[in-house]
Structure 1
């Protein structure tokens, strides 16, 4: 469902997550050293061998590092997926871990090994969480790729337990990049996602999206479904969305370091339901934070922001997604409308929570 240039999508907890593909290496000037790819698990000795750069080969070598995340209590339903990174940490979605944390979290490896886990840090705004394992086993950590290097048509793989079917592998392509999405949920923010047609269903939440080298380029999180509502009752229609690795890696590193994730902020409240083209600042006193970036740049309640630097802004949700690609302290140019006149101004972005 489209809303003023921003897709409203459903989160997909309820089973195991999916594994998402890593990015291809970028080319540079001159001769570069050949990319040997990340270190991956050896396939089971009893399994028929496949070339490591095939779908089957990547699935064999990455699957041991993808885990199912469930409750330590047998009476608590639901769950999701995650993947092991360096240091025996597990990355997953916040909407997976937050539903399980109170009763205790237990993860299951692909070989059936179990370990209890605790939440190291979580960021509802980005829908990411990091878990620490009490009894980790020896698997190769997955590496983050560079989602900025992904292009439409790149092949990707999702591995997880959709609808509770553990070890499921699906394959597809990157259908779009920089897709602005607004996940359903009170605390989840707006951001640009990777869109894929690899089958993702409830239970794929928190798994990685990998390329044919096995690097993580995204964290599966959301889907659009047909029908009157968007949720777990309906299945995949080829519209799945993953948090790009460029954002995920930054957030994960800050969570491990026990630092809160911070985002660029403009210091104004937007009317996210306005049909007006552009980001409409709420036309009420206090909608522009006194002393904040917007106030310092001369913006007022009722102003409509139409451009951020050279990018057109179609809605308040889209502007919030654009700000996720910026850092506190960045200086940007804004174009806005007021009383029929167009004004251009520079603004130094603040930080969320300031």
Structure 2
């Protein structure tokens, strides 16, 4: 762990953002400071951090006790990520390579978090992968998250996690203080959002235009069934039908409701995605050309069950970033919302 930290310490920064917040319509605005961890991802001075920059009037980073102004290239509340670019680069710094990692680390894998908590210099924290989750209670995450034993405190959301070989694992998405754990946005998801922010300044997500329900059968256990095909949606006219059992969407096997949200997260608007379904006793593959998910179809506020895990890098007077962006669904019931 000593080598992992010493080799990557120069890539870690503290991110600060100021904005004006009004307690009420009649009260004067107050200047509020948001603080988080970030890290360099290129030699050009790009920095990834959490979405503490939304609405900020000024953003800067601290690197070896020197301040550098930063430009916001893009931010995304769904993934709780933001991409910055420094106006002036430090003379000496390193950066982390955000690589594709299609297979999630197994439970028991050791991980090292590199963060700048409060006003302390960058420091390491060690933990293990405890599992991967698609939901918290009956609220779905936007994609499958890693759950680790790394405890997250103020200023540490946005910190990178590495394995003991120094390979990038993901970014701290939110803390689970009651469990002394954390939710980690995996490397593949970080890469997908980073590329969107770099090229267009915002992340776009796919819309399938269907609702699903989970059912339990004695033969197969839990299975995911198409509940409704929405009118004027990508799924309408595609050949998908209510009652179809979803087996696979693109490259993702569908075994739980969260797998549908995960497939939607990685699908690209405008592209064809193959749906493999079981209809009666036959398996049928159906291509669907997905479209862009509109803002009104994305949940924009933290659900009550997740209030304890919202990113902990902000003053209590500041609205918290959205930790999820997919609808509520319950086992053995229709989702009531579309994916």
TM class, shorter-chain normalised? 0.5 to 0.7
RMSD value, Cα: 3.4
In the alignment, what sits opposite 1:156?
111
Alignment partner of 2:248 out of 308, 313, 334: 308
Structure 2: which 5+ runs fail to align?
20-29, 217-221, 295-339
Structure 2 residue 240 is the aligned partner of structure 1 residue 240: no
Alpha-carbon separation, structure 1, partners of 2:278 and 2:118? 46
Deviations 1:122-147 (A, max 9, x none): 22233221011122203112112443
Candidates 163, 167, 178, aligned match of 1:215: 167
- Helix, strand or coil: the match of 2:15? strand
Residues 1:203 and 2:145 are matched in the alignment = no
If asked which structure has higher relative contact order (CA below 8 Å, sep 6+), I would say 1
Q: Is 1:257 equivalent to 2:213 in the alignment?
A: no
Q: Following TM superposition, by how much is the alpha carbon of 1:84 offset from its aligned partner in structure 2, in angstroms?
A: 0.6
State how far apart, in whole Å, the 1-side matches of 2:73 and 2:100 are: 24
Structure having the larger proportion of residues in strand? 2
Q: For the structure 1 residues 149 and 342, does the alpha-carbon distance in structure 2 shift closer, same or farther, using more than 3 Å as the test? A: closer
Whole-Å Cα distance in 2 between the matches of residues 319 and 206 of structure 1? 26
Question: Secondary structure in 2 aligned to 1:77?
Answer: strand
* TM-score, normalised via structure 1 length: 0.65
1:279 Cα offset (Å): 5.2
* Equivalent residue number for residue 12 of structure 2: 66
8 Å contact from structure 2 (residues 13, 122) kept in 1: no
Distance 1:265 1:334 in 2: 18
Structure 1: gaps (5+ residues): 1-54, 227-235
Pick the aligned partner of 1:78 from 34, 41, 53: 34
**Residue 292 of structure 2 corresponds to residue 352 of structure 1:** yes
Please state whether the residue corresponding to 2:56 is helix, strand or coil: helix
| Gap change, CA 1:221 and 1:141, over 3 Å in 2 | same
Q: CA deviation at 1:112?
A: 0.5
The secondary structure found in structure 1 opposite 2:174 is strand
SS at 2:61 equivalent:
strand
Distance 1:312 1:280, change over 3 A: closer
Within the candidate set 302, 319, 329, 2:272 is matched to 329
User: Are the aligned partners of 2:99 and 2:191 in contact in 1 as well (CA < 8 Å)?
Assistant: no
* 2:302 matched residue in structure 1: none
- C-alpha separation in 2, matches of 1:189 and 1:257: 25
SS in 1 for 2:191: helix
